[in-house]
Amino acid sequence: MTRKYFGTDGIRGKVGEPPITADFLLKLGWAAGRVFANEGHGFVLVGKDTRISGYMFESALEAGLTAAGVDTRLLGPMPTPGIAYLTRTLRARAGIVISASHNPYYDNGVKFFSVQGTKLPDEIEKKIEEYIDSPMTTVDSSKLGKAKRLVDAAGRYIEFCKASVPTRHDFSGMRIVIDCAHGATYHIAPHVFSEVGAEVVTIGAEPDGLNINDECGATKPEKLAATVLSYRADLGIALDGDGDRLVMVDHKGEIVDGDELIYIIAKSRQDAGQMSGPVVGTLMTNLGMEHGLKKLGINLIRAKVGDRYVMEMLAKHKGILGGENSGHIICLDKTTTGDGIISALQVMAEMQNSGKNLHELKSGMQKYPQVLVNVKTNKKINPDDDVNIQKSMKDIEKKLGDTGRVLLRASGTEPLIRVMVEGQDNDLVKSYANQLAGDVKKAIGA
């Protein structure tokens, strides 16, 4: 379904540039309010991360919802998965998240959750877009919506996270470092992990509206790795600005990415007899993870890049576990969306169950070298339609056989052809990636 404003993960962009402006978000709040009012009665939750523009957009959305006659419950700073959880348990009409996730402070965005705590269906987003493009009206004064702050939101979500691991797990004696990316988990994550018994060292928990994701968090875990080594911690946990991504660091300071974490959780579920369906990854999921899962007797299915597509495939194939190498991990047996805190707790529980440290657990799969080369293009091109590109790609695939993989795709957001080659031999992979990128350049006349 073609959508005018909504992308794969809501509406996102640079603050002050359409559509991420105060007047557009006022209209968006009103349009969403009209749709939710038609769907039935009830309030809408509004939460945000810690970027400075969140205040402006929270007010704009609240005004639009009020004008449409819809009550609002304001959550303040709250992780995206926390808003999904509260939307479901409080039986709200919908949940609205003001966040640009792992992006810098000068970006922002809006995404929605349904009453089930999942992304809105396409047809609801389409209805909202239709209202956005129609004149804004205000309900009679007697029917205007009301807004209240929900003061116990953080406490509710903290208890939910803790309940995602059995109470027999006491992490006393485990020293961990948490990097909150100066984002929405700053007042949540330290409490969760200390209340399950761990000794917690916290970094990236002093948001000022401008430092969210700035050289910290899941997209920049190097500072976390250094802190883990400095404190001789057992592990490190890096979350992103809105708390739906997780990257970890083992006691040696080595970074453990989303693919490795998904493998660890999958093996844990398999050993406990709780694994159901395939694991869903994406086109970028490392081939080493696929081979590692195969040895466990677990199939991997690849979706398009984006958690929305991972969720669709999980539903289609009745799976409980999926995600991306970037650290967006979905444990559907525990919650309804990607959740960095809950995913980290699952890994810690497996460490305790197995008696192994994180370094030992991740060594169960061999991550293959993966080289990505971006080729700029001045014209729109589909690599699948070019005979010369396809011939070059097939030649390399034949040479790699079962020990490697080639992926060519046009970027959906930039004028780029993304060339990815992975395999067991790093030098060979690098050579093939550069060779294929050169052939792509020739074919498009770059």
Q: What residues are labeled active site? A: 101
∠ CA 334-337-341, nearest 5°, is: 65
Do the Cβ atoms of 265 and 244 come closer than 8 Å?
A: no
Encoding tokens for residue 244? Answer: 């739906």
Task: Single out the residue of 214, 207, 184, 185 nearest to residue 49, CA to CA.
Answer: 184
Encoding tokens for residue 271? Answer: 């050993």
The DSSP string of 418-441 is: EEEEEES-HHHHHHHHHHHHHHHH
Contacts of 65 (CB under 8 A, 6+ apart): 29, 30, 32, 33, 44, 46, 71, 72, 145, 147
Q: Inter-axis angle of helices 153-162 and 80-89, to 10 degrees?
A: 100
- By the 10 Å C-beta count (0-12 exposed, 13-18 middle, 19+ buried), 359 is classed as middle
- By the 10 Å C-beta count (0-12 exposed, 13-18 middle, 19+ buried), 160 is classed as buried
Task: Single out the residue of 331, 324, 328, 322 nearest to residue 349, CA to CA.
Answer: 331
- By the 10 Å C-beta count (0-12 exposed, 13-18 middle, 19+ buried), 41 is classed as exposed
Tell me the C-alpha distance between 195 and 283, whole Å: 37
Contacts of 23 (CB under 8 A, 6+ apart): 60
